[in-house]
Amino acid sequence: MDLKGLEESLAGGRRLLVYLHDNPDPDCLAAGWLLASVGKSFGLKPVLVYGGRLGRAENRVMVKLLKIPLRSLEKSRPRLLKSDRFAMVDSQPGAGNNSFPHQSRRCHVVIDHHPSKTRPTADFVDIQPDMGCCTTMVLAYHQALGLELSADLATAVAYAIISETQDMGRETTRADQEAYMQVFPKVRLRVLGSIRHPVRSRAYFQNVARAMSRVMVGRHTCVCHMGPVESAEVVAEVADLFAAMERISWCMVSGLVPGQIHISMRSRRPEARAERIMRQLLGRQGKGGGHGMIAGGLMSCACLEDYPERAKYLTERFLKLLGRRQPERLHLLLEEVADCANPILARAEPE
């Protein structure tokens, strides 16, 4: 860990803008908050900014209960650009999933755990694709500086790690586990419980109902094109849901927000290289990235009328890319006859 390099890249600055990726997730929120605290210890005034929206109920509760000092770029973009230091966590300038103006500004610090084809141009770059969480990486700097970890920050770190790794069951490393156990004594447990079990909006249940009615399944693959959704994170949330289905090893979910189709991919196989499949799926038609078992991407789609055709293309290409001898045939999940002990239920026809 190059603590000195990090300090040198921020030294002399007054105002540090820490960019999260758009629609920030818990890993990004905690990593950014930690880096803001590091920046403060170097004498800078940190500001945490994000594009897009906080989509998931858990993330909204996390920000609210832990009082994460977060600013939406959609509300206060112009003034914020007067900063003299820029940092990014859990993403990279030009990655396509953040609002950093990489064409006009140089980033000073990039800390990320996503693999990238080209190393980002920044004064200080720390990219470790082997790390399960970006939060674990930034926590190491925070600890090396001997900074005090508040109970709220500790809670954010703990939630980030269990959320990013699905309770240590997905793409976790020894470092993530150790970080979790180190911060755990400081965690506000009741608050953590409230974050993990939030009250959810009616819209959430409508989304789930729509997804359930549309999801197509094959032997090992599931695909769901949700149509218009109110935020990109709905797509990721539904993908997580379907990734837990028995016998399913790959799933892809898409949704349309104005102008763009968002795509989430999940695999239950640790060696899956989902980020590569996502890049191949989109080619030059979009941008995507991710890790081994999860990936996200987007492609432009000007209007609702174009969506069905794009969705069909995505399904066909996805099935081909999985490299099975014969592309799977998919059918609606609701058409499957329930394997059920209740004879009345088993005979009931789906509407």
Beta-ladder partners of 251: 222, 266
Task: Closer to Mn ion by CB, 255 or 296: give it.
Answer: 296
Task: Closer to Mn ion by CB, 70 or 333: give it.
Answer: 70
Counting Cβ atoms within 10 Å, is residue 77 exposed (0-12), middle (13-18) or buried (19+)? middle
Binding status of residue 27 toward Mn ion by CB under 5 A: yes
CB of 160 to Mn ion, least distance (A): 8
CB of 123 to Mn ion, least distance (A): 22
Binding status of residue 30 toward Mn ion by CB under 5 A: no
Task: Closer to Mn ion by CB, 20 or 215: give it.
Answer: 20
Farthest-apart Cα atoms in the chain, separation: 74
CB of 45 to Mn ion, least distance (A): 25
Stretch binding Mn ion (CB under 5 A), from 2-10, 127-135, 272-280, 308-316: 127-135
Task: Closer to Mn ion by CB, 90 or 233: give it.
Answer: 90
Binding mask 243-262 for Mn ion (x = CB under 5 A): --------------------
Angle between helix 307-321 and helix 274-282 axes, rounded to 10 deg: 130
Residues found in the chain: 351
Task: Closer to Mn ion by CB, 129 or 308: give it.
Answer: 129
Among residues 134, 217, 222, 299, the one that binds Mn ion under rule CB under 5 A: 134
CB of 96 to Mn ion, least distance (A): 15
**Cα separation of 310 and 91, whole Å?**
26
DSSP annotation string for 174-188: HHHHHHHHHHGGG--
**Cα separation of 266 and 269, whole Å?**
9
Q: Which residue is nearest to Mn ion (CB)?
A: 27
Task: Closer to Mn ion by CB, 164 or 211: give it.
Answer: 164
Contact present, 134 and 28 (Cβ < 8 Å): yes
| Residues 6+ away with beta carbon under 8 Å from 325 | none
CB of 116 to Mn ion, least distance (A): 13
Task: Closer to Mn ion by CB, 129 or 228: give it.
Answer: 129
CB of 159 to Mn ion, least distance (A): 13
Task: Closer to Mn ion by CB, 90 or 225: give it.
Answer: 90
Total residues at the site for Mn ion (CB under 5 A)?
A: 3
**Cα separation of 126 and 108, whole Å?**
11
Stretch binding Mn ion (CB under 5 A), from 130-138, 155-163, 218-226, 320-328: 130-138
Task: Closer to Mn ion by CB, 83 or 165: give it.
Answer: 165
Interaction residues for Mn ion, span 46-105 (CB under 5 A): 90
Counting Cβ atoms within 10 Å, is residue 344 exposed (0-12), middle (13-18) or buried (19+)? exposed
CB of 88 to Mn ion, least distance (A): 12
**Cα separation of 238 and 170, whole Å?**
17
Contact present, 13 and 85 (Cβ < 8 Å): yes
CB of 170 to Mn ion, least distance (A): 12
CB of 133 to Mn ion, least distance (A): 6
**Cα separation of 157 and 163, whole Å?**
10
| Element housing 139 (H / E) | helix 134-144
Amino acid, res. 95: A
Binding status of residue 176 toward Mn ion by CB under 5 A: no
Around Cβ 51, how many Cβ atoms within 10 Å? 18
Residue 164 token pair = 């990013």
Interaction residues for Mn ion, span 7-26 (CB under 5 A): none
List of residues contacting Mn ion (CB under 5 A): 27, 90, 134
